[in-house]
Chain A
Amino acid sequence: MKKHWEILVVDDDEIACESLAAWLREDGYPTDMAFSGHEAIDKAKKKDYALYFMDLKMPGGLDGIETMMKIRNLYQDASVIIITAHATVDTAITALKEGAQEYIVKPCNPEEISLLVDRIIKVKNLQRQNILLRKKLTRQYRFHDIISKNPKMYDIFQLIRDIASLKSTVLIQGESGTGKELVARAIHYSGDRAKKPFISVSCAALAETLLESELFGYEKGAFTGANSQKKGKFELADGGTIFLDEIGDISPKLQMDLLRVIQEKMFYRVGGSQELKVDVRIIAATNKDLLKAVNTGEFREELFYRLNVINIQIPPLRERREDIPLLVRHFIEQLAHELQKNVNDITENAMRLLIDYNWPGNVRELENTIERALVTCKTNVLSEEDFTFLSTNRDKSERWSVPTNQSLQDVEKVVIEATLRRLDGNMKETATVLGIDRSTLYEKIKKYNIPRLKEDVE
């Protein structure tokens, strides 16, 4: 029952250390020993102890209170009991001010120490129950890999259940990072095709000809380099689902080919003359306004209507802020495990900051943000300080509208200029904000001929 709470006894007096450890082991707590403050910190780095018994007087430059402070830096909720030989008021005040939960004066009555440990462990058990409860909540708000308690998202979950086993094509629309592929997967894995393949293709990632052979495969000798026959994604997805992400980016020719696949359920490999028939459900996704593209003639109207049989609009994260706490907890749990970081909580202020942030990159940006914060976090609780990189970008992102008719170089130039201006020409800070090193910044300033506001005097 209490076996999972581990205790570390820290005392330079070997006999005192060993005997207290033995006494605690008899009570059922796995107990380790450290004979100096330095050893205690080394051990604490390897294991998150629930409770520390710390002798006040220890040689070697780290006494009990200093050691406790260092351990509390590592684990904000570590409980420390300071053991002192004389009850001076000063010691007590310092120990409590620095966050020791309790102090005892040795020799101490066995009853007193037993009650003290019981009380601290009882609190720990309660905290653990709260964490378990929160995990259960996350599970409750989970549909496949999508976590939400937003009413619009609930409607989407219901729609997914309703259409999962149909063959109709689906068009998923939503800003980048909203989880369009997760929705596509949820459709596939909730329906009859769950045991058949789910094949995902990003249409924007490949040039036209490459994408064509990627989708439909090719025959031997279809082009230079085609040394053998290769199956395309449509063939691989036979019986299952193909997910075409960023469908708004495909060329007019591919739009034609795709239309034929949907209408006639057949296609040819590149360089082939044999008709191939497949049974594939198509789910397409885009972050573009496809209807607008239809009106300007960039996207074939017929294809649009063929794809848009069932339409799912995923709301951006800023329109479902109630999901942010759920997602944050989920990512902390999942990523801390992957990154092997001992982080299990977040302060209220940090959570507030994340809830208020605008999330132009949606859930994916939130995930990346948590990952970055976890990597640099030095305690076991994420705090505001772990998200400073976010606030420096905040004002920029709120007014930022993505230009869609400029070359990347132009955009780069504008961004560098604007950042330099905001930071009064400070090269070091500008480089930090842009995430490049200073020499790269110098190169780019020279390349784009950006006027410098003031001479760099560093």
Chain B
Amino acid sequence: MIYLVPMGNIESDIVQSASLCLWHTFGFEVKRFSPLEIPTHSYDEKRRQYSSIEILRMLHKTMPKEAFRVLALIDKDLFIPVLSFVYGHAQFEGKVGIVSIARLRQEFYGFPEDKELVTNRMLKEVTHETGHLFGLTHCNDTSCPMTLSTNIRALDKKGVSLCESCKLLLKENMVEKFQ
């Protein structure tokens, strides 16, 4: 079972769409968790961002044992020390991953709100990070959600559903490693 964990202020219809998308793409039942507090120590005052790895560590410790995979959705901007920001972060073939929707919102770039666009972007990143949890690495197909997008233009270019080769790889991984 995949646990879907909203953190901070995330609209419930966004969580719902994410839940449906995960179930559809990965074939696991998805359990929606009640919203969690963002750990205060993960906030970096100087950078005014949240450390993704601190949050992943917290989730790893607090999530119930029966949670096979955990994906968190957060409305805050995430970082790792070497990079200026990350859209999301997952332990490769690990248990926990996280997606930030801060930079997926049009408001971040000074435009009016666009609910449909932010949902669409979120679905791509949710699929992307969950793909990492199931052993997928970055894809060369720029229309596949598993391609690495480092800016919003590239993110908007890719689609929501996995390309044929990633689908195949996912299927193989499921059989070999995750049964």
- Interface SS majority for chain A: helix
Contact A108 B83 (CB under 8 A): yes
Q: Does A26 contact B (CB under 8 A)?
A: yes
Q: Closest chain B residue to A20 by CB distance? A: B82
> How many residues in A have their beta carbons less than 8 Å from beta carbons of B?
23
A16 touches B (CB below 8 Å): yes
Q: Verify B81–A22 contact, CB threshold 8 A.
A: no
Residues of B within 8 A of A (CB): 47, 51-54, 79-86, 89-92, 132, 137-138, 148, 150-151
Q: Contact at A110–B138, with CB atoms within 8 Å?
A: no
A residues apposed to B, CB below 8 Å: 13, 15-16, 18-20, 22-23, 25-28, 53, 83, 104, 106-111, 113-114
Cross-chain contact of A110 among B53, B81, B86 (Cβ < 8 A): B86
The 5 closest A-B pairs by CB, nearest first: A28-B137, A19-B80, A16-B81, A111-B150, A110-B150
Task: Report whether A23 and B150 are in contact in the complex, using a CB–CB cutoff of 8 Å.
Answer: no
Closest to B139 in A: A28
From A83, which residue of chain B is reached at the shortest CB distance? B82
Contact flag A107-B92 (CB < 8 Å), given A16-B82, A19-B80: no
Q: How far is the CA of A198 from the CA of B53 in the complex (A)?
A: 66
In the docked arrangement, what's the CA distance between A22 and B138, Å? 13
Contact yes or no, A107 B53, CB < 8 A: no
Q: Judging by beta carbons under 8 Å apart, are A13 and B137 in contact?
A: no
How long is the Cα–Cα vector from A27 to B148 in the complex, in angstroms?
8
- 17 A–B contacts from the bound complex (CB under 8 Å): A15-B51, A15-B80, A19-B53, A19-B80, A20-B82, A22-B89, A23-B83, A23-B86, A23-B89, A25-B92, A26-B132, A27-B148, A28-B138, A107-B47, A107-B79, A109-B83, A113-B82
Q: When the two chains form the complex, which single residue of B85, B89, B150 contacts A19, counting CB atoms closer than 8 Å?
A: B89
Which residues of the other chain, B, contact A106 by a CB distance below 8 angstroms? 81-83
Q: Tell me the complex Cα distance, A440–B80, Å.
A: 65
Closest to B88 in A: A26
Interface contact A13-B138, CB-CB below 8 Å: no
The answer on a CB contact under 8 Å between A15 and B81 is yes
A23 touches B138 (CB 8 A): no
Residue of B52, B85, B148 with most partner-chain A CB within 10 A: B148
Query: How close is A64's CB to chain B, nearest CB, in angstroms?
Result: 13
Closest to B91 in A: A22
Chain A residues with Cβ below 8 Å from B51 are: 15
Given known A15-B51, A27-B148, contact A107–B82 (CB-CB < 8 A): yes
**Residue of B80, B84, B151 touching A23 (CB-CB under 8 A):** B80
Contacts of A83 in B (CB 8 A): 82
